[in-house]
Structure 1
Amino acid sequence: MPASSLYSITQVQAAETASESILATASQAAKYGLADDIQDGAILHAWCWSFNTIKENMKDIAAAGFTTVQTSPANECKDTYSNMKLMGNDEINGTDGCWWWQYQPTDWKIGNYQLGSRDDFKAMCAEADNYGIKVIVDVIPNHTTPDLPKVSDNLYNAVGGKDNLYHANGFKEITQWGNRYECTTGQMGGLPDVNTENPDFQAYFLKYLNDLIACGADGFRYDTAKHIGVPSDPLDAKSTRNNFWPVVTGEESAKG
């Protein structure tokens, strides 16, 4: 259940039941002894691997017996630096330009300077299909970068402006971790909490998920899932229902 853990994995169910592509993928998976379903096999967490690095190593990944590859977040993030840094101090921002910028979205569009472009992602997924490997993408709907001027104007406009992007409680730091209201509406570690119940945000985020699927993604890992309210959780002042999970899992229709 999403509220019980830091993350949740959702597998995309293919609309097609039989096609040459699906049969070819299954054949390749069988060649390497890989499981048919994500939950039945081993997942390689390709932490901070670029899309091109994953693609270039796909044969070895299959040979090692991994059914699935989990990528780091594909969303846009701050691009002040030209290369990803795993370590390195900055006098103003501490460790700047590091891997966790991927976990601080500036927009929900595919591609960032740390991992690669949308085309790189698509090519990686195509190569995964050649070996019968599934692809899971780490996704973060819960919050954005704290550097608000870096958040995309397209995102602000799509959700009705900055005030509508965040919870009423979204800039108040969580102090009581056993309090579900604070944990699902408050700011975690300085990261402003997105109003995931806003229908305009839900529609925008689903476009991102659908684009990932169109490019070849087979499932998602939801980061900080326990910080997004389930229907029984207390409501933020801006919300009428905690329906993010029913919407993204297809139990309820999204706006439009």
Structure 2
Amino acid sequence: MQRRRRRSAVLALGLAASLLVPTSVAPSPAAAATPGSKKVIVQLFEWNWTSVANECTTVLGPKGYGYVQVSPPQEHVTGNPWWLAYQPVSYRIESRKGTRAQFQSMVNTCHTAGVKVIVDAVVNHMSGQDNGGTGWAGTTYGHYNYPGNYGSQDFHYCGRNGNNDIVNYNDRYEVQNCELVNLADLKTESDYVRTKLAGYLNDLLSLGVDGFRLDASKHMPAADIAAIKSKLSRSAYIVQEVIWGAGEPIQPTEYTGNGDVHEFRYGKDLARMFNSERLAYLKNFGESWGYLPGGQAVVFTDNHDTQRDGGVLTYRDRGEYALANAFMLAWPYGTPAVMSSFTYSNRDQGPPSDAGNRTLNTTCYSGWECEHRWRVIANMVAFNNATQGAAVANWYDNGWQHIAFSRAGKGYLTINDEDFAITGRSYYTGLPAGRYCDVIHGDFSNGSCSGPVITVDGSGWFAANVNAHDAVAIHVGAKLP
């Protein structure tokens, strides 16, 4: 029988007060950036280019984020909803997030800060406007007519369901030849279309982009994506959006030959463990759960779609969300992607914008959530960097909601998601003796810690009390002199 745990609003609010404060940052990104491999991706959802550039310099570089994923940069339909960025009308780098020059400047600035840039690339379809219109940068278009790019011959017309829309996800042909919510579906088997799409991606590569998140990859055969990839002017990191569906004919494993793939089951299962089952079950979390090979999976607690669809933890879950991200950043399966949201009250709501729907600069208040700055999340990025390549060791659990494990010789995390404090216990870390900053509650900078200090003895043990719905994390990159 599973124990249904009591959710405590008071405890959650207490955790929010201690863990969710914005983390401090050092003034010099070059000096403060964590050395070694940096793999963590942060999705700055719908941020404008000026704000992304500033964030790379002031936060992402200093905190050790390896990649920033930016929203689609091409010209799109007009309006306010967030999804308009996913309705291209041309491949001009001109959108409500900024101009081509601002985009170029952003890429250069992020590179200077040691952060690589991934573009969310919409290559499966064009717009979903039946009557066409005028795009953000002034381009006139029709549903199946995009002057200079595509005409009616370049789209699929599956002739099903009365409106060409996908209805049956158990039909491979329908999923890859019908329209996703009325979005004009490109004929990606056509060499002309492939060349046009590669031209757009190559233009972004010419601006210094390091990789692409290929939106709606499931709606294109893996071979079509491979053919487009073969036309790229240079190598680029690729991650494909392929949502797993039980029993469906199209599976994420089909796409691993092209690059990494999003593992959508991860966030839902992680939420289930935190919300209604047992953290103890996470002992073998990853491939043994039927997931993609860890070396080709990109994982996340939530992204811009799943946080609106439900079944995952989001910024609204405050302390529980912070703990889930701490686990993700400490656990070695997959490449972790951190979400950074704007707050919303309805599913379609767009980002904070001016009267002309131009995205406002991000200030991390007034509608921007900035989860990637929360202390526990931002500081666990350095934990991830410091523990690269180290296996899980010294696993402990109490059978329920208290777990602990080390990343052999490099880091240690214990999470207590019980409704009561864990007191009077010691933890075996396997870490070198010394004093370590508890990066869950304090910032490590210039050899000092702004929060609690954990002392590991000569045998690799430390003693600590862990409050309800709280955690302790230490790693060799935050060891005090």
Q: Do they fold alike, i.e. is TM over 0.5?
A: yes
1:199–1:153 distance in 2 versus 1, CA, 3 Å: farther
Q: Which has the higher contact order (CA 8 A, sep 6+)?
A: 1
TM-score of the superposition, structure 1-length normalised?
0.68
**1:146 offset after TM fit, Å?**
1.3
Name the SS for the 2:42 alignment partner. strand
Question: Which residue in the other structure is 2:70 paired with?
Answer: 71
State the 1:153 CA deviation.
5.9
Matching residue of 1:111: 94
State the one-letter code of the partner of 2:39. Answer: G
Aligned residue in 2 for 1:168: 157
Bigger CA radius of gyration = 2
Residue 88 of structure 2 corresponds to residue 100 of structure 1: no
Counterpart in the other structure of 1:219 = 211
Alignment identity in percent? 28
Specify the code of the residue in structure 1 equivalent to 2:176: T
Unaligned runs of 5+ in 1: 1-27, 82-96, 232-243
Aligned-residue CA RMSD in angstroms?
2.5
One-letter identity of the residue aligned with 1:135? V
Q: Could you tell me which of 123, 126, 138 is aligned with 1:144?
A: 126
**1:178 is the counterpart of 2:176:** no
1:78–1:101 CA contact under 8 A, matched in 2: yes
Against the structure 1 CA distance between its residues 160 and 143, is the aligned structure 2 distance closer, same or farther, given a 3 Å change threshold? closer
Q: Partner of 2:337 in structure 1?
A: none
| C-alpha distance in 1 between matches for 2:67 and 2:45 | 13
The residue type equivalent to 2:62 in the other structure is A
The 3 A distance-change label for structure 1 pair 222 and 65 is same
Q: Cα 1:29–1:143, aligned 2, differ >3 Å: closer, same or farther?
A: farther
Give the TM-score of the pair, scaled to structure 2.
0.37
Residue 34 of structure 2 corresponds to which residue in structure 1?
33
Say which SS state the counterpart of residue 109 (structure 1) adopts: coil
Structure 1: distance between partners of 2:52 and 2:102? 10
> Runs in 1 of length 4+ with deviation above 6 angstroms?
none
Please tell me whether residue 156 in structure 1 is matched to residue 146 in structure 2.
Answer: yes
* Contact kept in structure 2, 1:68 and 1:135, CA below 8 Å: yes
Alignment equivalent of 1:249, drawn from 218, 229, 232? 229
Name whichever structure is richer in strand by fraction: 2
Structure 2 residues without counterparts, runs of 5 or longer:
1-28, 234-481
Q: Is the 8 A contact 1:246 1:252 kept in 2?
A: no
- Judge conservation of contact 2:67–2:118 (CA < 8 Å) in 1: yes
Query: Structure 1 pair 29/102, CA: closer, same or farther in 2 (3 Å)?
Result: same
How many residue pairs were aligned?
Answer: 193
* Preserved contact between residue 41 and residue 68 of structure 1 (Cα < 8 Å): yes
C-alpha separation in 2, matches of 1:75 and 1:252: 18
The structure whose residues are more often helix, as a share, is 1
Structure 1 residue 190: deviation in Å? 2.2
